[in-house]
Amino acid sequence: MIHRHPGADLEKTTLLGAVLAGVTLLRPLFAFKENRVALGEPVMLPEAGGAWVTGAVAGLVLAAALLSFAPQVNRVRWAKISIGMLLFVTLVITLGRSGSQTVAGMEFARITPSTGFWVGVLASFVLVQGSLHSAPVSNLVRSVVGLAPFLVVLILLAGGMLDSLAPVQEYYTREARFVSELGAHLWLSGAAVLAASVTGVPLGILAYRRRMAERPVFAVVNGIQTIPSLALFGLMIAPLAYLSREFPVLRSLGIRGIGNAPALIALTLYALLPVVRNAYTSLAVIRGSVIEAGKGVGMSRAQMLRFVEVPIAVPIILSGVRVSTVQAIGNTAVAALIGAGGLGTFVFQGLGQGAPDLVVMGVIPIVLLSVFVDRSLAVVIRALTPRGLKGAPS
Amino acid sequence: MIEFRNVVKRYRGQMAVDGISFSIAEAEVCVLIGPSGCGKTTTLKLINRMLEPSSGEVLLDGHPVASFEPEELRRGIGYVIQSVGLFPHMSVAENVGIVPRLMKWERSRREKRTDELLELIGLDPAQYRRKYPSELSGGEAQRVGVARALAADPPVLLMDEPFGAVDPLNREILQLEFAALQRKLRKTVVFVTHDLDEAIRLGDHVVIMREGRILQHDQPAEVLASPANEFVRQFVGVDRALKRLACFEVGDYMKRAETITREESFGRRNEPNGDGGEHPILWVTNRDQALVGMLEPELNPGSRLVYRPYVALHPDEVGVRPAASLREALSRILGQGLRAAPVISDEGRVLGEVRLSDIEELNQTGIAR
């Protein structure tokens, strides 16, 4: 691969994108349901979008397939990115428009996106990111391109153009509940990460500074991580219920076997590992020679902290917090099982009621939240990382 | 300038420095040398209080170092370590300017000083100021380390195997640069190394240590000429006579050379007054007095002096500069199979010659003592 001309090569990623995009033509775009529990009737793209849209999508598929044989130069990259974007926008708008027409006049009717749609979205992702990741562009452009699809969906949602979608319908019937569960979700994961940071950073530092502490600290923290989250939540119930029964003070503080208290404890324990590990690493990467040099030029303990340790360590510690946060947002969904609330509530309700759309309605905000928090923290960390420690810009 | 008085340093029951006393004069380079674990680095670190003695005291300019605040003391003493220890998150300018920053100099003064130092160590400020340590070569990083140590113009410089991590070729360049820098700055330098050649090249005095004790403290030539004991004798090696020659400069042993022009050399085969005795090589020069070749004398069977045919020479292959060591001169002499090597200027002009006989004599007198 390396010694051949890049143009002579088949771009496998693009070809994959093209093949995936082709699936949208062969599989149903969405399913029409008369009511929430009705079985869906599949609707194919030609039926939903008409000849023009079908032709356009077919054209995009063909173009992507052809471009996968073109040399990977900038113009080709941007052509592929545009194809991916166009595919996404076409599919979403078609879904919204056709959905509205299909359900018009029927009170409980709704549509659910099907294989064709989801695979199309995946195809779009592959085409865009596959070209973007090797493109010589700034981080800003990267972020803008990455955020564009979300923006499109948000605008369409705000304009009511996606109202016929089942998850959106599920949302409308639970708007108030959604807001409060979102709040609970944020509070739970936020508090857990905060608690894990407050305890984990000192633990990591302790593990680094005291050889005696290193093994036990990591044994415990790693051990926790190996317990499946469901089991850990379950494990919390018995002891907390017991404590709550024996000590009325605790009960009056709201500590019970189920609810927030066990969830928060379990989430905090889970969030510990990345924080502890990175706090440890952040000190371990500061080479002894650098500390010796700092001492040698006459830095006091406080100056060493300010000029050397904090600038080098903080970005690494924050990276741990970032991993922890993303993890906690996901784990919090499971916490709904022991009555802690959060967006997981909808997921488990949906599972219980056999309503996949409700599940989707709970899952999508969790995913978006994770991505958003992850990206934001990445930006903050990048800003805090001293230039000399950043890798060469890719 | 620096004085050790009965200094002992024990580490976890182990004797690192075992009651040493010696002093280092102002503006001299004192090299501490010995096998690993001999206590040389410990000795160095006792000066800027990176380590505290178990007993005894270290004086700086007549004051016990223990009477200064450690941080204040260290800001006034330049410190260069083997692994350089540049702050990876700071630019070259920030690294060099750290001591002035700790001493709360104004920004403009700091920047001026930084540029000055970068120029001093031969790195173009405009090009290097904003670079980061990860973008520097080993030699460049080491130079920046030296510049950082010099930032606040400290009278004392401590260097702990500063060139140890650099490849041999660059190490020699750094050593020569450092020697030139020291001639200009005249700092009191304490230099730790385990490389004897480096010690000989750079040291005004050499302190040979073993197991926390000083075995010999003398000028390099003296140490090589008369090792204090069997250990030092072995440490300096069987080739100490040769090494010792590195302590002497060609310029100090240069003799007048006979030169003739190329035209004069034509047909010069027989010397009219050829009657034995010392007959110098005739160095042949061009119109610019640059060395181009030679005529080597030879006594023919009839004890008559004749010159062998003209031999063209390349100045850089046979000539030595006045600042070179006699060791280098000897290697040229032996390499060419001659009795002398021409001393040439940077432009290739013949300044004089160094004779094998003089080197032999110097060797005899030194080693015999």
Residue in A293, A303, A386 closest to B85 by CB: A293
Is the model's pLDDT at A33 over the cut of 70? yes
Cβ distance of B98 and A307 shorter than 8 Å:
yes
Is the model's pLDDT at A394 over the cut of 50? no
Q: What is the DSSP letter of B16?
A: E
Chain B residue at shortest CA distance from A289: B85
- Closest CA of chain B from A210, distance in Å: 18
Range in A314-318, B253-257, B326-330, B361-365 with the lowest mean pLDDT? B361-365
ipTM beyond 0.85? no
Q: What Å distances lie between residue B137 and A375, A390, B4, B133, CA to CA?
A: 35, 18, 37, 8
Mutate to test the interface with A, among B45, B89, B130 (most CBs of A within 10 A): B89
**Extended strands (E) in chain A:** 30-33, 41-43, 110-113
Please state, rounded to an integer, the average pLDDT across all residues of chain A. Answer: 87
State the pLDDT confidence band at A56, using cuts at 50, 70 and 90.
very high
Q: Would you call A300 helix, strand, or coil by DSSP?
A: coil
Chain B residues close to A299, C-beta within 8 Å? 71, 102
Out of 1.10.4160.10, 1.10.3720.10, 1.10.357.10, 3.40.50.620, select the CATH number for domain A175-389: 1.10.3720.10
Is the model's pLDDT at B246 over the cut of 70? yes
CB atoms within 10 A of CB A316: 21
User: What tokens were used for B49?
Assistant: 């209080």
CB atoms within 10 A of CB B301: 5
User: What tokens were used for A31?
Assistant: 């399913």
d(CA A91, CA A82): 14
Which stretches of chain B sit within 8 Å of chain A by CB? 48, 50, 70-76, 79, 81-91, 98-99, 102, 132-134, 148
pLDDT at position B36 is: 86
Cβ distance of A388 and B133 shorter than 8 Å:
yes
Which pLDDT tens digit goes with each residue over A318-357?
999 999 999 999 999 988 888 888 899 999 998 988 888 8
Is the model's pLDDT at B367 over the cut of 70? no
Range in A9-18, A256-265, B157-166, B228-237 with the lowest mean pLDDT? A256-265
Q: In chain A, what is the straight-line distance between the N-terminal and C-terminal CA atoms, in Å? A: 20
Torsion of CA A104, A106, A108, A111, to 10 degrees: -40
CB atoms within 10 A of CB A367: 11
Which pLDDT tens digit goes with each residue over A197-214?
999 999 998 998 888 888
pLDDT at position A1 is: 41
Is the model's pLDDT at B302 over the cut of 80? no
Yes or no: say if A221 and A272 are a contact pair by the CB < 8 Å rule.
yes
Q: Which of B262, B282, B297 is nearest to B342 (CA)?
A: B282
Q: What Å distances lie between residue A56 and A52, A346, A383, B369, CA to CA?
A: 6, 37, 42, 100
Which pLDDT tens digit goes with each residue over B42-73?
999 999 999 999 999 999 999 999 999 999 99
User: What tokens were used for A265?
Assistant: 């404890």
Is the model's pLDDT at B276 over the cut of 90? no
Report the percentage of chain B scoring pLDDT > 90.
Answer: 43
Chain B residues close to A298, C-beta within 8 Å? 70-76, 99, 102
Which pLDDT tens digit goes with each residue over A108-156?
888 989 999 999 999 999 999 888 888 888 878 888 888 888 899 999 9
pLDDT at position A2 is: 45
Chain B residue at shortest CA distance from A313: B89
Residue in B48, B89, B91 closest to A296 by CB: B48
For residues B216-226, give the mean pLDDT: 89
Give me the domains of chain B, ranges plus CATH numbers.
Answer: 2-237 (3.40.50.300), 251-368 (3.10.580.10)
Q: Look-up: residue for tokens 């850990």? A: A232
Q: What Å distances lie between residue A371 and A375, B45, B141, CA to CA?
A: 6, 51, 41
Cβ distance of B99 and A300 shorter than 8 Å:
no
Q: Where are the domains of chain A?
A: 6-165, 175-389
Cβ distance of A287 and B98 shorter than 8 Å:
no
For residues B103-116, give the mean pLDDT: 92
